[in-house]
Structure 1
Amino acid sequence: MNDKAENSGASVRADAARILARVVFDGVSLRAAFEARASRSADPRDRALLAATLFASTRWWLRFDSVLAQMLERGLPDKARDIHSLLVLGFVQIEIMRMPDYAVVAACVDAARLLGQPRHAGLVNAVLRRFLRERKALLEEADRDEISQHAHPRWLIERIRGDWPRDAESVFEENNREAPLTLRVNRRRCAREDLLGRLGQAGVAAHAPLHLADAIVLEESTDVSRLPGYAEGHFSVQDGAAQRVADLLDLADGQRVLDACAAPGGKAAHALERADVELTALDSDAGRLPRLRENLGRLGLEANVVHADAARSKDWWDGRPFDRILLDAPCSATGIIRRQPDIKLHRRLADIAPLAAIQARLGAALWPMLAPGGKLLYATCSLLRAENEATVARLLDTFSDAKAMPIHDRHGRAAGAGRQNLPGHKGMDGFYYALLEKTR
């Protein structure tokens, strides 16, 4: 390996350590922090290594942080938190990413100097080399505690076991896997088979899953903006579980449709790709609307984009009822941990009750806006019954004209009036769906 490559490896690890420290200790969004840094990197290989290291290290933080605690009699001081993160990512690169042992050690030692902490370079070298010698015993000790064994916080372990006792172990395992990269073909601009052909010609291995009408699954993750058809709006990135929303909405030309929590616009765009509907894309976060508009523009789609709180109808609703309403409600996002592993570090048990209250408030406010015979699809990317079937049960109890519609078992397993897709089922994320019809 030449000096330039070695320096690049150390630099990427230093960047990863800085970002990881912000994610873990400051509660910064992993995706936002990565995208801000990656945009400044000219080398796609460096961006790929940075992404892989950050997502794997965040995913496994709770396991390998416990390993580090075993190895240090006293914890590192706050001012050395970048070194703390560097050591954890070093363990992860060795054990999870299966990178060459001593190349990781050497690059991490150099990264400690790039982080402005040369005094800790010796510590980094000693700790990583000890890990190489003793990792079997260290990992066996980590397995004695369920938090480090599963790399999940205790509250989430307990809730998943309580809600899905027969599936809990597989959920933990799936949450710790890298999710496949799934595209949604824009059928208004491209046929799925045509895009598959273009990807094949570009050397990108991919397949079209039979259970999803518009999906293409890539065999390896990549920078999608460099794929053929991206600039022309031929596809978007969207997990298969989210793509099923458009199927369940049962869309037809001429319908008036509301996406009540629309940003960043994936499900709204899919609805517009499926049918000529009059769609209102609403969101309460003004900061997310530019991205929604950008996504619609790239795909050649139009919607009435509105900044408003869906529950405050007097601020935005013109009084005309909707034929379809999608309430993709704010939730704990515990079903998409594969894609957003920082959820395990940032979400708290205390968040669940307030989220359930928001979900109930939105559902109660939106129901009167639905036309007789219309349908409201309640969806979340949560695994927790308190946010899903309990919320839908309250809606059914509150409104006598609400009727739960049957959903085919291909959409997961029964969960109250709806169905729950668990992480990894047919390669998809965890997602909940309940379809309610207004009977009068």
Structure 2
Amino acid sequence: MSKRNVRAQAAWVIEQVIDKGQSLATCLPQAQSLLSNPKDKGLLAEICYGVMRQLPVLDSQVLNCLEKPLKGKKRIIHCLLLAGLYQLKHMRVKQHAAVTETVEATRQLKASGMSGLVNGIMRRFCRELDSLLAAQFEDDARTHLHSRWFIERVKAAYPHQWQQILHANNQHPPLWLRNNVRHQSREAYLAQLAEQGIDAVAGDSDNALRLLKATDVTKLPGFAEGGLSVQDQSAQWAAYLLDPQPGERILDACAAPGGKTCHLQERQPELQHLVALDIDDRRLARVQQNLDRLGQQAQLVAGDAADPQSWWDGVPFDRILLDAPCSATGVIRRNPDSKWLRRNDDIDTLAQLQQRILHANWKMLKPGGTLVYATCSILPEENVNQIKTFLQQVPDAMLLNINPDDSQEKPGWQLLPQVEGGDGFYYARLKKRQ
């Protein structure tokens, strides 16, 4: 079988996302599985993620070079041109290589008759590259590389910070790690990395550290033995805020892929019982993998957090971590395809689901117990408004302040995405009155 062309694979992935509504998480691994060279797999990922970050601009610049839009079976050639233009504008790929490989991709896409068109447009891109790079746009969608509905929501919620938020969303995400304090101190691990010439800095939470250059984490010292895990700095606050104590019964609701489950046990290895719940039993396999690598144990339960009666044994929990399903608008830089897959109507639907899950989980909490509500969203409808409504509806719920700004009128702690900092996250800590 002939060697797979990376650009052809990229065109297929891009078409799956923008025309068929598939996520990169679903279709990118399928395309990578057809490539044998790890460098080719990395190149494919870089092209696909990059096109998703830059999509409105790339799309308009490709369309400007076409006499008429490519439709039907020819749409994949439009996607191929998106991949080709991204290489020229944003990657260190030599122009002749980008042109040659992009034209060659038409053969593997069974569109050899389009090779002349692709060759001509790619060469035009090369000639006009300076003007393409310097292009300015008047509309927000192309200027800020987000959907218009999302820009309007962010403007309304953060009138003084919206541009910084959108800018952070368009950057490559930093690589955050969580040091396992059961193996070594963070200071000792940073020193170990420095000895191997790996640059890293400490984060805001006790065991967060950021690599200054992305690397294969499986090759880092101590990774295979459970000495560290990949977890964004903002997500690491969940275990600290829940503050599990010895002998307690804990629920980690919506637990997959298990980073917070494992962190809870690192923070408190003397728990009586830890239940990791997720609605998708296939995702629980990932939780088990993380537990195994860290030498930990938890009860994995496949069940609906909004319907405890279908799986709960009736024994109340001392503490519950509810990492609710959300729009993931705080982690767009890690999932740039979500900018084009998420819809405005999704937000109200998610908010209703979150309210159902929050009420259902509250019934499983002991009097005097603590519930931490968390999302990786930056939208008030999923965060501060949710908790404000819940506090008004539930008489035995009281707010436990996380910071001085935490109040009944503006409950919880909203973290916004930072270019070299953590992702966007929201936390609220609630106590059930006795």
Could you say which TM-score interval applies, normalised by the shorter chain? over 0.9
Post-superposition offset of 1:139:
6.0
Q: Check if 1:434 corresponds to 2:409.
A: no
Residue in 2 that maps onto 1:3: none
Q: Check if 1:401 corresponds to 2:382.
A: no
Any residues of structure 2 matched to 1:342-361 within 5 Å, and which? 342-361=337-356
Aligned equivalents of 2:397 and 2:329: distance in 1? 27
From 112, 118, 123, the counterpart of 1:124: 118
Any residues of structure 2 matched to 1:122-271 within 5 Å, and which? 122-135=116-129, 137-138=131-132, 143-209=137-203, 211-271=204-264
Aligned equivalents of 2:357 and 2:322: distance in 1? 8
Contact 1:414 / 1:420 at 8 angstroms: preserved in 2? no
User: Deviations along 1:365-385, whole A, 9 cap, x unmatched?
Assistant: 111222222211111011111
User: Deviations along 1:12-59, whole A, 9 cap, x unmatched?
Assistant: 222222222212222222023223333454433222212211111111
Aligned equivalents of 1:256 and 1:15: distance in 2? 47
User: Deviations along 1:111-151, whole A, 9 cap, x unmatched?
Assistant: 22332222222212221222233345556666122212211
Post-superposition offset of 1:268:
1.0
Contact 1:64 / 1:148 at 8 angstroms: preserved in 2? no
Residue in 1 that maps onto 2:380: 385
Contact 1:67 / 1:142 at 8 angstroms: preserved in 2? no
User: Deviations along 1:358-415, whole A, 9 cap, x unmatched?
Assistant: 0000111111222222211111011111111111112101111211121137x99999
Residue in 1 that maps onto 2:14: 20
| Deviating more after overlay: 20-29 vs 300-309 | 20-29
Distance change (3 Å), C-alpha of 1:135 and 1:415: farther
In structure 2, the residue corresponding to 1:26 is in which secondary structure?
Answer: coil
Aligned equivalents of 2:337 and 2:409: distance in 1? 26
Distance change (3 Å), C-alpha of 1:195 and 1:80: farther
Distance change (3 Å), C-alpha of 1:13 and 1:414: farther
Q: TM-score, normalised by structure 2?
A: 0.92
Aligned equivalents of 1:208 and 1:42: distance in 2? 36
Q: TM-score, normalised by structure 1?
A: 0.91
The root-mean-square deviation of aligned C-alpha atoms, in Å, is: 2.4
Aligned equivalents of 1:283 and 1:16: distance in 2? 32
- Counterpart code for 2:395: S
Contact 1:412 / 1:422 at 8 angstroms: preserved in 2? no
From 79, 88, 96, the counterpart of 1:94: 88
Contact 2:406 / 2:412 at 8 angstroms: preserved in 1? no
Q: Check if 1:67 corresponds to 2:79.
A: no
Count of residues in Structure 1 that have an aligned counterpart in Structure 2:
431
Residue in 1 that maps onto 2:332: 337
Contact 2:326 / 2:382 at 8 angstroms: preserved in 1? yes
Residue in 1 that maps onto 2:51: 57
Post-superposition offset of 1:321:
2.1
Post-superposition offset of 1:320:
2.4
Contact 2:89 / 2:133 at 8 angstroms: preserved in 1? no
- Counterpart code for 2:253: A
User: Deviations along 1:292-340, whole A, 9 cap, x unmatched?
Assistant: 1111111111111111112222222233221211111000101100000
Aligned equivalents of 2:192 and 2:32: distance in 1? 27
From 254, 267, 277, the counterpart of 1:274: 267
Q: Percent identity?
A: 45
From 316, 319, 330, the counterpart of 1:321: 316
Residue in 1 that maps onto 2:364: 369
Q: Check if 1:110 corresponds to 2:117.
A: no
Contact 2:331 / 2:423 at 8 angstroms: preserved in 1? yes
In structure 1, the residue corresponding to 2:5 is in which secondary structure?
Answer: helix
